[in-house]
Amino acid sequence: MKPIRLLCLLALAWTATLPPTAEASYFGDTLGISPYKSWKTLATPRFDIHYTAGLEETAKKTAQYLEEAHAVLKESLFWEPHHRVQILLLDNSDAANGSSGPVVRFGITLYTTPPESWFSIGNTDDWLRMLCMHEYTHYLNMDPVQGWMWALWVLFGDAVRPNTLWTTWMLEGLAVYMESAHTQAGGGRSAFYEMILRTAVRDQKLGDPSFMNLDRLQGDNPWFPEGETPYFFGYHLMNEVAHGARKSTQTADGRDPLAFGDQVFGRLSMRSGGRVPFFVNGNLQAVTGRRWRQVWADWAGRSVARMQTELTTLGKRPLTPVEALTPYELELLGPKPSPDGRLLAYTADTDDHSRTGLFIKDLPSGEIRRLTSKRMGATHAFTPDGRWILTSSLRPIHEYDTYSDLLAVDAGSGAEVWLTEGLRAKDPALSPDGRTLVFSVSRQSTVGVAAARLQYTAGEDPRLTDIRDLYFPPALDRASQPTVSADGKWAVFSIHRNGQVGDDLVRVSLEGGKPETIVHDGSRNQYPTFSPDGALVYVSDRSGVENVYRDREGEAPVMLTHVDTGVRFPSFDSKGALYLSHFELAGWAAGRVDHPSNSTDWRSVAVTAEGPNGAHGADPVPPAATITDEGAYSPGPTLWPPRQWAPFIQGSGSGLYFSGELLGFDALDLHEYSLIAAYDTYVGMLEGSAQYSYRGLGPTVSLSIEQTTPFIQSGSHGPSEFDRRTRATVTASIPLRGEWSVFLPALSFSWERTVTHFRSTTPDTLLGSPPLPVATAGFSLSNAESSPLAITTERGYRLTAAGRYYGLAAPGVWKGAATARVYLPISGHTILTPAVAFAVANRNGGYSPALVEVEGGTPALLNFVSPFAGSGSPFSGLEGLSLRGYGQSFRSLQAAVGSADLAFPLARIFSGKDTLPLFAENLLGYVFGESAYFPTSRVALPSVGGGLKLTGTLFVHAPAALTLAVHQGLRPEFGGETQLVVSFQASGVLGL
């Protein structure tokens, strides 16, 4: 009877703070923190603000806003950090963003580029101020550690922060509440949030599991409103908590006043900072007397009543019928008809693709084609002959900057021609004569408007000449979606002036000159265009709903659409039909209005956002912050003490593997270090490593020393043979980012010694080698792609290749390896993954690590639908190939492993239970066929298998998976066996 081995694997990590690796920086490369730039530090009483040249004034404003945020929020959240907060100020991306994490004293990252007007975060008065309020709310809320939790801090270091394990909707909801309560804008005051809520009530979907309820709120949502889900619903639930607290304080004499008003959030935060995480219902009930399900019910009841009143008001006039021309997607931007009216171009973000795409619809036939992938970029223009679509997209410029550039895409073939490089240009519009292109351009935290001459002749590629600024506003202002007037004389655009509520429409002559404000009423007036008769048309939220308006000089604005949801991006064809992005609860679609209305009576159908309950609006802008120090950046103050002590446990039928890690890095992640100690009960020996990495030279240079057990041969009563390797290594690598790919070359030199232990004798027989120099070079290349509904990587490939030279006494010993994996969509989200790996050695020279290793036994820990362990590393194939279904490992001069995995979704769950920190996403199945082949002996070792995998999240977006599988090796004479695999994997996240 074949042996059956039960492999039980458990992998746990408190946070996603990974140890530094030789392949890539821990977070510096990811954030785009360039080591090439000259960094400076500005210090205030509580903050260290790190910035680069050109951001001096922005850094001073940031200091002012952060000190204000501290003064305001400490009164609500009852907390002050016990250490200085590190702030990274970045202007290396044209996508507005921010992140915060007190875990391992990560700090706060602020991207200073103002957000696009169509972003959900675009409803701002002062973007930088609101961003500081939002991110510092995260920091103060997640930072507290009190009571007996300090004991865990002693054991685990700065990774221990109980409030970081609040559900994401609680964390983000509180931050949106505070940004809205202490400014005149924010998500809580936006027409966008009102639109989602009103549409849900209209369609009777509020609380319906097919849209969203409390059970489904605990984890990721792959459908609209997708990434906005925790912000939108979290804000409303936190707003309801504040509403209930204020109501209670008016009727309940003698109760603790700290439980009411904004300070209810301080009570919640402080109490949970000293409690076992996850029990958020008990914490809320102790402070407010309600549980979260009651809060949801109370909010839903109030919202239904309020939105029904709004819908009654909006129903006083007939609604404009909008014909949907495309499916409703997560986002759909800038629908634009071609000059002949046959084609419709638009950008869409779909739930079955991870990359936003440029799409085109043939209106007569109804055929929709995806022309190309792109990142962001909202508006489009056609060349006069309709051949080229002019648009914009983000792309990597250098290793650390991601900027927007103008792009021409052939409407027939999808061929691409970049019109600019590193200009930070976006959202082009073409003059009626096809000669002048206007567009937005970013520079030092500000967005202005530029123009260029379009050189284009039929049959040739378009190009731009004579690029010039038309208007560049004061710092931190944002000019958006410029267009050209029907007479070709004016560029008209929307501008948000920093510190002002709403957006104005402004025009400036194409010849240059002073700008002239043409629409200014405190509303968000956006997406200007011109009708065929030359009238100015735009979208405004002046009625509380985003609708299309027309302005003619000397006349009152005319409402061209009256919808109860919202519209964006109007444009016209030559016949006067109006195209736009139209919202319904499933998302956004390209729509058409054949007969726009002509009503000036928009006030009769106006509605008003509720806003934060009891909030007083923006606080007065504070005076400039006190600058305590300013000068060149120094890494020393943030390198020590270390930031994390992380546990790791792995178990199998052979024994347990315990390890602990110490991790540290400076504020810019120029320096990293880690120390790891481990004990393997199977071999009964200690292991360990120490590593230091430096990014300041451009490539990441790493120095490490380690003692490990890379090879174990199992016997009947424990390991019969194993290697103990001592190695010191220096490695250099740098990730080179393409438009959709990452190329990672790496080079290392090491000195190593391996001692083989034979336990068939007593005492052990040892066979060792002298210290040997080893040189290794390799690369990895990946353009892998996923989607919101993916169960595994869905498209693209991953390649690695590497070679290693061993400087033995008898020279010329080497080993090479390569791996390749391709992801092929079969149908829907069923994915076939063929893979091959091979390794070859010329001879071992008496040194066993120079041989090719095929590792049986425990499957690859981090990805069970994969035959290769650690395949992301350029050197992975050199360290060993993985083989499922066999209980032992093999060494040879040559080996190859080929496999085909088929993964398929069985159930879409995307639900948890109440506020429990467990959220199930997908149940999937997989089957595989695999075989190792050894050419020198002509032996093949086939295996087959399959299993079930339940994926989901724990706590705050912590990926988790439970796998039950059977792997069957088909050659028992070579250790083939039935392996029952039971595994659970989980890791955490760093910040928000």
Tell me phi and psi for residue 266, to 5 degrees.
-65, -40
**Mean pLDDT of all residues in 529-555:** 93
Tell me phi and psi for residue 48, to 5 degrees.
-110, 115
258: Cβ–Cβ under 8 A, 6 or more apart, which residues?
264, 266, 267
> If DSSP codes are grouped into helix, strand and coil, which group holds residue 323?
strand
What does the radius of gyration of the chain's CA atoms come to, in whole angstroms?
30
Report for 396-400, 699-703, 850-854, 900-904: range of highest mean pLDDT: 900-904
Percent of the chain with pLDDT over 90: 56
pLDDT tens string 261-283 = 568 999 999 998 888 877 888 89
- Using CA atoms, how far apart are residues 416 and 783, in angstroms rounded to an integer? 18
330: Cβ–Cβ under 8 A, 6 or more apart, which residues?
223, 224, 226, 348, 349, 350, 351, 587, 588, 788
Question: What beta strand segments (E) does 734-851 contain?
Answer: 736-737, 742-758, 765-768, 772-782, 796-806, 813-827, 830-841
- pTM exceeding 0.85: yes
**Angle subtended by helix axes 263-272 and 229-251, to nearest 10:** 110
Question: What beta strand segments (E) does 14-114 contain?
Answer: 39-43, 47-52, 85-90, 98-101, 107-111
Please report where in the chains the tokens 């292991």 appear, as a residue: 687
Amino acid at 535: A
pLDDT tens string 610-664 = 888 755 555 666 677 788 888 999 998 998 888 777 676 766 556 777 877 888 8
In angstroms, the Cα distances linking 122 to 522, 570, 985 are 15, 18, 37
Please report where in the chains the tokens 């954030």 appear, as a residue: 31
Percent of the chain with pLDDT over 70: 89
Supply the pLDDT for residue 16: 32
Structure token digits, residue 125: 């008065």
- Using CA atoms, how far apart are residues 281 and 292, in angstroms rounded to an integer? 6
* 164-168, 255-259, 365-369: the lowest-pLDDT one: 255-259
Pick from 186, 213, 159, 182: which is nearest to 73 by CA? 182
> If DSSP codes are grouped into helix, strand and coil, which group holds residue 447?
strand
Pairing of strands 978-986, 4-11: parallel
Band of residue 867 on the pLDDT scale cut at 50, 70, 90: very low
229: Cβ–Cβ under 8 A, 6 or more apart, which residues?
169, 212, 217, 220, 221
- Using CA atoms, how far apart are residues 668 and 206, in angstroms rounded to an integer? 44
643: Cβ–Cβ under 8 A, 6 or more apart, which residues?
17, 104, 105, 157, 158, 159, 663, 664, 665
Band of residue 162 on the pLDDT scale cut at 50, 70, 90: confident
Check whether 257 has a pLDDT greater than 60: no
Supply the pLDDT for residue 857: 64
Structure token digits, residue 46: 């509580």
- Report the Cα–Cα distance between both ends of the chain, in Å, rounded: 53
Tell me the torsion sign for CA atoms 58, 59, 60, 61: positive
**CB-based contacts of 495-504 (< 8 A; 24+ apart in sequence):** 496/114, 496/117, 496/122, 496/124, 497/473, 498/114, 498/126, 498/127, 498/128, 498/474, 499/125, 499/126, 499/621, 500/125, 501/125, 501/184, 501/185, 503/117
Supply the pLDDT for residue 275: 82
Band of residue 989 on the pLDDT scale cut at 50, 70, 90: very low
Element (H, E) at 458: none
Tell me phi and psi for residue 295, to 5 degrees.
-60, -45
Q: Which residues of 823-846 are buried (b: 16+ CB within 10 A; e: fewer)?
A: beeeeebbbebebbbbbbbebbbe
Higher pLDDT: 859 or 448? It is 448
pLDDT tens string 67-108 = 999 999 998 899 999 889 999 999 988 888 888 877 777 889
Q: Which residues of 180-192 are buried (b: 16+ CB within 10 A; e: fewer)?
A: bbbbbbbbbbbbb
**Mean pLDDT of all residues in 717-746:** 86
Amino acid at 337: P
In angstroms, the Cα distances linking 430 to 159, 180, 453, 539, 808 are 52, 37, 10, 20, 67
Supply the pLDDT for residue 367: 96
**Mean pLDDT of all residues in 41-55:** 93
Supply the pLDDT for residue 863: 32
- Using CA atoms, how far apart are residues 334 and 496, in angstroms rounded to an integer? 19
Supply the pLDDT for residue 887: 86
Q: Are 100 and 47 in contact (CB under 8 A)?
A: no
- Using CA atoms, how far apart are residues 650 and 710, in angstroms rounded to an integer? 15
Pick from 17, 232, 98, 168: which is nearest to 953 by CA? 168
DSSP assignment of 344-407 equals EEEEEE-TT-SS-EEEEEETTT--EEEEEE-------EE-TTS-EEEEEEEEEETTTEEEEEEE
- Using CA atoms, how far apart are residues 375 and 386, in angstroms rounded to an integer? 23
Angle at alpha carbon of residue 488, lines to 486 and 489, rounded to 5°:
115
Report for 86-90, 673-677, 841-845, 983-987: range of highest mean pLDDT: 86-90
- Using CA atoms, how far apart are residues 139 and 178, in angstroms rounded to an integer? 13
Pairing of strands 772-782, 796-806: antiparallel
396: Cβ–Cβ under 8 A, 6 or more apart, which residues?
402, 737, 738, 739
Q: Are 798 and 872 in contact (CB under 8 A)?
A: yes
Q: Are 968 and 939 in contact (CB under 8 A)?
A: no
**Mean pLDDT of all residues in 573-600:** 92
- Using CA atoms, how far apart are residues 442 and 134, in angstroms rounded to an integer? 23
Band of residue 568 on the pLDDT scale cut at 50, 70, 90: very high
Q: Are 428 and 381 in contact (CB under 8 A)?
A: yes
233: Cβ–Cβ under 8 A, 6 or more apart, which residues?
169, 173, 212, 217
- Using CA atoms, how far apart are residues 376 and 369, in angstroms rounded to an integer? 18
Cis peptide before 834 (omega within 30 of 0): no
Supply the pLDDT for residue 654: 67
260: Cβ–Cβ under 8 A, 6 or more apart, which residues?
245, 246, 248, 249
- Using CA atoms, how far apart are residues 350 and 891, in angstroms rounded to an integer? 47
Higher pLDDT: 498 or 680? It is 498
Q: Are 438 and 450 in contact (CB under 8 A)?
A: yes
Please count the other Cβ atoms lying within 10 Å of the Cβ belonging to residue 338. 22
610: Cβ–Cβ under 8 A, 6 or more apart, which residues?
239, 306
Structure token digits, residue 21: 């690796």
Structure token digits, residue 796: 């693209």
* Residues found in the chain: 992
Output DSSP code: residue 862.
S
Output DSSP code: residue 293.
H
Please report where in the chains the tokens 């038309």 appear, as a residue: 470
Band of residue 382 on the pLDDT scale cut at 50, 70, 90: very high
Check whether 253 has a pLDDT greater than 70: no
Q: Are 580 and 567 in contact (CB under 8 A)?
A: yes
Q: Are 880 and 912 in contact (CB under 8 A)?
A: no
SS3 assignment for 714-745: EECCEEEEEEEEEEEEEEEECCEECCCCEEEE
**Mean pLDDT of all residues in 284-295:** 92
Check whether 9 has a pLDDT greater than 60: no
CA atoms within 13 A on the CB side of 156: 19
Band of residue 868 on the pLDDT scale cut at 50, 70, 90: very low
- Using CA atoms, how far apart are residues 463 and 482, in angstroms rounded to an integer? 19
Amino acid at 798: R
> If DSSP codes are grouped into helix, strand and coil, which group holds residue 168?
helix
How many DSSP H helices and E strands does the chain contain? 12, 52
Angle at alpha carbon of residue 727, lines to 722 and 733, rounded to 5°:
125
Pick from 617, 615, 622, 633: which is nearest to 67 by CA? 622
Q: Are 493 and 470 in contact (CB under 8 A)?
A: no
Mean of all residue pLDDT scores within the chain: 86
